[in-house]
Amino acid sequence: MHAVSFRNIAKDFPIGDDRVRVLHDCSADIALGQMTMLVGPSGCGKTTLISILSGILTASEGEVTVLGQSLTRMRDHHKVLLRRERIGFIFQQYNLLPALTAAENAAMPLMAAGMKLPEAAERARAILDGIGMQGQGDKLPRQLSGGQQQRVAIARALVHNPGLIVCDEPTAALDAATGKAVMAILRDIANDPGRAVLVVTHDNRIYNFADRILEMSDGRLIGDFAPDAFQH
Amino acid sequence: MRDVALKMLLGDRAKYIGLIFGVTFATLLMAQQVSIFTGIMSRTANAITSVREAEIWVMDPRVRYVDEVEPMRPVELSNVRSVAGVEWAVPHYKGLATVRLPDGMTQQVQLIGVDDVSLVGLCTDMIAGQRDVVRDPQSAVIDRNGFLFVWPQGDFATAKPLELNDNRLTVRGVCNTQPTFLTFPILYVTYDAAMEMTPPQRNKLPFILVKGRAGQSPEALAKRITQQTGLQALTTSQFQWRSINYYLERTGIPINFGITIALGAIIGAAITAQTFYIFVVENLKQFAAMKAVGVTNGQLLQIVLTQAGLVGVIGYGLGIGFTALFFFVTKDAPALQGFRLYGEIMAGTAIAIAVIILASILFSLGKVFRLDPAVVFRG
């Protein structure tokens, strides 16, 4: 089973009375146990595509299957549940709640699923310990460095044991060394045969962490490469 | 998610305090102004409600409120006494008079002439002297606030000489009574003494106080008195509301207070709504991230309602507390004596505050519900 399968995906956005097509006929499969990178220049449609693949946006045309479930006719509420239970997210700007501690932030998907805060935070703390954040669970985001905050975001993406991890520019706000450390964690996660990691990036310093690179341009998937074969 | 809601709210201390301030301010302004308004309106009828022995007030049909005097013929007292079901009926004088003090200064007073035999109409809570002193036609009882107004140094126990229309009168008793709308001192004498001391005129009987026999409905008896005598007979409650309604309809008091109360509600709502809106808008990215990771709109609603509920309860509690403290501190001030924070006002304010908060969060919730979680991917 593929983690994600999408066929002939198109997406239109209304602009005034017109509709503008930003994705054209995109098709690919994302394998489990791999890190797949989606690369391309700004504005090429990467963010729109991962929004569709993670059930946040709905495709105007085409079929999407995530972890065996078709998103094409899935109701919005069920997409929310799918995201909550089977998809983990890592954002460029971390998007941590400033009033919650690292462990509480990481516990968010569990709390959304109904788990009480103390129990959820305890489980999140174990994940944080596993990614080099021992003893940092009670700190607030403002007390953490950028790299540490991104690790909290990684813990948040892992805490509910999802099959698909979607990362949006996970190293964009980090320096090179910290970015590589974060990517090393994600690389370990991708080695799990039950998980797929999909990374959107245009940071060419991290391409070597990928198993596979999908290149986009002007709303189209224009290439499918092994990292060492990708010319940038 | 309740824990998350509270941590989000308490984590942003400045806005948390701002929100509580808005609700506290609105609560304080509404509860305090409504209480003062209610107190003032009650004062318009205190001259009626303070005569607890009487069930029915009988007066000329043209009388619209308690401070309006249309004298009746003396024979009307006998006519009322002859109505079936009347246990007793006594005359009650109420009018304005001017007294001269020993130093030559004059002072306008509310002169109350109570029944010579039963003393019905005389205040009961004496703080100096005895009620019986008014049986002496040259003695009077005065209300505490009036005494302090005329003789600010106090000394309730010492008799105070006065002159009323060239009649010597000595204040020998002081009592507590509910202040009336007119702020003049209240001077109690017997009805006969009042007749002697006030300028002569053909008719001087303003009110007849009536008590019905046991088991007799005051409303039915009042109707019977009206039918048989042609006079206006009202139960205490009916006359109280008739007087209050007169002031409500004929003075600018309710409009004035209404404007203040509305302004309090509007300003409180504006502060609360604006702060809440800013609070939500500044957290939109976080709300979007929460939606992206699977937090439902229902859970976001729970978060916002929990935050609003906490702010509402604390703000309302503080506002009511400050209002109660205000009335406690000012309870002895003559201007505010008898003003209370009634349970009904607290309940009404709670409803108004709940509406303000719900209206405030409606603005914000629309933005949260329409929020596209995809914004978290836009750098």
What value does the mean pLDDT take over residues B121-132? 90
Structure tokens at A205: 């310093």
Torsion-angle region of residue B108: left (phi > 0), alpha (psi -120 to 50) or beta?
beta
Whether residue B72 lies within 8 A of chain A, CB to CB, comes out as: no
Q: Average pLDDT, whole number, for chain B?
A: 88
CB atoms under 10 Å from CB of A19, counted, come to 11
Distance CA A48, CA A56 (A): 9
* pLDDT tens readout for residues B23-40: 898 888 888 888 888 888
Query: ipTM strictly over 0.85?
Result: no
Cβ proximity of B8 and A97 under 8 Å:
yes
Q: How far is A231 from chain B (nearest CA, A)?
A: 26
Chain A residues close to B3, C-beta within 8 Å? 111, 117
Are B11 and B117 in the same domain?
no
pLDDT score recorded for residue A27: 92
> What pLDDT is stored for residue A232 in this prediction?
60
Residue B170: predicted pLDDT: 93
User: How far does the CA of residue A70 sit from the closest CA of chain B (Å)?
Assistant: 18
End-of-domain residue from the set B173, B196, B230: B230
Alpha helices in B165-211 (DSSP H): 191-197
Asked if the C-beta of B299 comes within 8 angstroms of chain A's C-beta atoms, the answer is: yes
Q: What is the pLDDT of residue B23?
A: 86
**Which residues, 6+ apart, have CB-to-CB distance to B269 below 8 Å?**
B22, B26, B356, B359, B360
For residues B40-48, average pLDDT: 85
Domain boundary residue, one of B177, B199, B230 = B230
Name the DSSP class of A55.
Answer: T
Q: Which domain holds residue B31?
A: 2-43+252-377
Please give the pLDDT value at position B80. Answer: 95
Q: Is B311 on the interface with A (CB under 8 A)?
A: no
User: What confidence score (pLDDT) does residue B379 get?
Assistant: 54
Interface test with chain B among A56, A86, A92, by most B beta carbons within 10 Å: A56
Mutation for B interface: A85, A90, A91, most B CBs within 10 A:
A91
Beta-strand relationship, B56-59 and B207-212:
antiparallel
Chain B hits for A81, CB-CB cut-off 8 Å, are: 294
C-beta of residue A219 within 8 angstroms of C-beta of residue A21: yes
Judge if B223 and B260 occupy the same domain. Answer: no
| DSSP assigned state of B12 | S
Which residue on chain B is closest to A56 by alpha carbon? B374
Give the per-residue pLDDT at B320: 95
Q: Residue A56 is which amino acid?
A: I
Lowest mean pLDDT among A110-119, B160-169, B363-372: B363-372
Contact A84/B at CB under 8 A:
yes
Q: Which of B7, B289, B296 comes nearest A91 by C-beta?
A: B289
Across B83-206, where does the E strand assignment appear?
86-100, 106-114, 125-128, 139-143, 160-164, 167-176, 186-190
Phi-psi group of B25: left, alpha or beta (phi > 0 → left; psi -120 to 50 → alpha; rest → beta): alpha
pLDDT at B193: 93
Q: Is it the case that residue B336 has pLDDT exceeding 90?
A: no
A83 to B379: CB separation less than 8 angstroms, yes or no: no
**Co-location of B109 and B218 in the same domain:** yes
Both structure tokens of A102: 């690292």
Share of residues in chain B with pLDDT > 70 (%): 99
CB contact under 8 A, A95 and B289: yes
Q: Name which of A160-169, B189-198, B359-368 the model is least confident about.
A: B359-368
- Chain A residue with minimum CA distance to B9: A99
Residue ranges of B 248-287 with Cβ closer than 8 A to chain A: 285-286
Report the gap between the CA of B260 and the closest CA in chain A (Å): 38
A4-94+155-229 topology per CATH:
Rossmann fold (3.40.50)
Q: What is the pLDDT of residue A220?
A: 92
Same domain flag for B260 and B372: yes
Residues of chain A with C-beta less than 8 angstroms from the C-beta of B291: 80
Tell whether B61 is covered by a domain.
no
Residue located via tokens 């010597």: B168
Q: Rounded distance, CA A42 to CA B292, Å?
A: 22
What gap in Å lies between CA A218 and CA B7, rounded to an integer?
43
Q: What is the pLDDT along chain A (232 residues), one digit of tens a residue?
A: 788 899 999 999 888 888 888 999 999 998 888 999 999 888 888 888 998 998 888 899 999 999 888 988 888 888 888 888 889 888 877 888 888 899 999 998 888 888 888 899 998 998 888 888 888 889 999 999 888 888 898 888 888 888 898 988 888 777 887 788 888 888 888 888 889 999 998 888 888 888 999 999 999 989 888 777 776 6
Number of C-beta neighbours around residue A11 at 10 A: 22
Q: A123 and chain B: CB distance < 8 Å anywhere?
A: no
Q: Does one domain contain both B198 and B86? A: yes
Flag whether pLDDT at B162 surpasses 70.
Answer: yes
Asked if A222 and A215 touch (Cβ cutoff 8 Å), the reply is: yes
My answer on whether B140 and B192 are in the same domain is yes
Q: Inform me whether the pLDDT recorded for B360 exceeds 80.
A: no
Confidence band, pLDDT 50/70/90 cuts, at residue B142: very high
pLDDT the model gives residue B119:
93
Q: Measured between alpha carbons, how far is B31 from B340 in angstroms, rounded to an integer? A: 10
Residue B209 pLDDT > 80, yes or no?
yes
For residues B215 and B78, membership in a common domain is answered with: yes
What pLDDT was estimated at residue B378? 64
Contact indicator for B302, B361 with CB cutoff of 8 Å: no
Domain count, chain B: 2
Q: Best of B293, B295, B300 to disrupt the A interface by mutation (most A CBs within 10 Å)?
A: B293
Chain B interface disruption, residue of A75, A90, A108, A143, most B CBs within 10 A: A108
Interface residue A102 vs chain B (CB under 8 A): no
Whether B85 maps to a domain, the answer reads: yes
Rounded to whole angstroms, how far apart are CA atoms B90 and B117?
9
Closest-CA distance, A228 to chain B, in angstroms, reads: 28
Side-chain half-sphere exposure of B235, counting CA atoms within 13 A: 10
Pairing of strands A4-15, A61-66: antiparallel
Contact A209, A221 (CB under 8 A): no
Q: Do A106 and B293 contact (CB within 8 A), yes or no? A: no
- List, for residues B337-350, the tens digit of each pLDDT value: 778 889 999 999 89
Q: What is the dihedral of CA B307, B309, B314, B317, to 10 degrees?
A: 170
CA–CA dist B45, A37 (Å, integer): 82
**Which of A77, A108, A169 is facing B293, going by the closest CB pair?**
A108
CA distance A227 to chain B (A): 24
- How far B370 CA lies from chain A's nearest CA (Å)? 13
Same domain membership, residue B136 and residue B262 = no
Q: Which residue of B has its CA nearest to A48?
A: B374
Task: Say whether both B182 and B261 belong to one domain.
Answer: no
Q: What is the phi-psi region of residue B338: left when phi exceeds 0, alpha when psi lies from -120 to 50, beta otherwise?
A: left
Q: What pLDDT sits at residue A135?
A: 85
Q: Which among A92, A97, A168 is the nearest to B286, CB-wise? A: A97
pLDDT at B139 over 90: yes
Question: Domain extents for chain A?
Answer: 4-94+155-229
> What is the arithmetic mean of pLDDT over B302-315?
88
pLDDT digits (tens, 9 = 90+) for B214-264: 988 999 999 999 999 999 999 999 999 999 999 888 888 888 888 887 887
Does residue B271 carry a pLDDT above 80? no
**Higher-confidence position of A38 and B288:** A38
Question: Within this chain, do residues B34 and B157 fall inside the same structural domain, yes or no?
Answer: no
Residue among B204, B198, B139 nearest B166 (CA)? B198
Task: Say if the Cβ atoms of B290 and A112 lie within 8 Å.
Answer: yes
Contact across the interface for A57 and B295, Cβ inside 8 Å: no
Q: Do B293 and A112 count as a contact with CB atoms less than 8 A apart? A: yes
Write the DSSP assignment of B16-62 as a string of letters: HHHHHHHHHHHHHHHHHHHHHHHHHHHHTTHHHHT--S-SEEEE-TT
CA B205 to chain centre: 29
Residues facing residue A223 across a β-bridge: A215
What b/e string do you get for B25-36 counting C-beta neighbours within 10 Å, with b at 16 or more? bbbbbbbbbbbb
Contact between B277 and B304 (Cβ < 8 Å)? no
Burial class (CB in 10 A: 0-12, 13-18, 19+), B329: exposed
Residue B167, beta-bridge partner list: B164
Assigned token pair, B99:
């007294």
Claim to verify: residue B218 and residue B79 sit in the same structural domain = yes
Task: Give yes or no for B292 touching A (CB within 8 A).
Answer: yes
Q: Residue B332 has what DSSP assignment?
A: T
Q: Which of B10, B291, B376 sits opposite A91 (nearest CB)?
A: B376
- Size (chain B), residues: 379
